[in-house]
Amino acid sequence: MTTGSAARALLIEVTIPVYNEEKVLAANVRGLHSYLTAHLPHRFVITIADNASTDGTLAIAHRLREELPSIRVVHLDRKGRGLALRHVWCGSDADVVAYMDADLSTGLDAFLPLITPLVAGDGDLAIGSRLALGAAVVRGPKREIISRAYNLLLRTVLAARFSDAQCGFKAGQAEVIRALLADVEDNAWFFDTELLILAQRRGLRICEVPVTWVDDSDSRVEIVRTALADLRGVARLRRARSRRRPSSAGQDRPAMPGLWHQARAELMTPEQHR
């Protein structure tokens, strides 16, 4: 991505999309900020993207901005995780952009392995996976079945070669993300899937990181409505695929789970870029 002394100036932006998260926001943002301060060898900014919350979430976000350095707050007057990410990422001046859910269901120990291949230039996007070998997941059977069925559907209908489309723990090289966003239509929960499918179809390198993940019992996700919207999105991408030209050589590359092992073994510091 960059070499020499310039590597020390790398900026990582972590976006947290939030909707009515007043119960957990303060503690989790403080925990994330503490973790990044202690472990991340690059500059960072945490952007809290409020999606039209109706509780005290926005006020808490502003207090956190006053309390902690490197906190930014963005407010949108419409709901939509994809909308929030699009808004933040399109205007970001970071080198690597990432996002995670406000409940921090995904263990933070996976964050450095997530961004290391991006910083090293060995990957274009990186995703946390609850279904990859080495992941440790605690959740009920209903959500487990839905998740596995959805990802099986993506592999069957859209030829997806990544294992977990919807885990709220992803990152990408900022210029790559911005180039993809122009063609991503969805602004809600299908946003992740559409972004990854487009990346795969363009031959981009998608790295997978197995994560530790604990189900949030207070999740804001409306399962039935989200599932129906996802099915419509899958159908739309299927139609688009049937209309496009046959893939040229190098496209539809598989995800690269092996890069995680390398990243875990040698978490990259600025000096390692020399």
Q: Which residues are identified as catalytic?
A: 192
- Residue 159, phi then psi, degrees to nearest 5: 60, 35
The vertex-224 CA angle with 82 and 87, nearest 5°, equals 10
Reference 197, options 226, 149, 162, 153; nearest CA is: 162
Cβ count near 14 (within 10 Å): 24
- Joined together, the tokens standing for residue 272 give 């390692």
Rounded Cα distance, 45 and 120, in Å: 20
Handedness of CA 9, 209, 197, 255 (dihedral sign): positive
* CA 144/CA 54 separation, integer angstroms: 30
Phi, psi of 210 (to 5 degrees): -65, 135
C-alpha 232/C-alpha 230 separation (Å) is 5
Contact 89, 181 (CB under 8 A): yes
Q: Using CA of residue 215, residue 219, residue 224, residue 226, what is the dihedral sign? A: negative
Within 8 A by CB and 6+ apart from 168, the residues are: 99, 100, 101, 105, 106, 128, 192
CA dist 26 and 174 (Å) reads 27
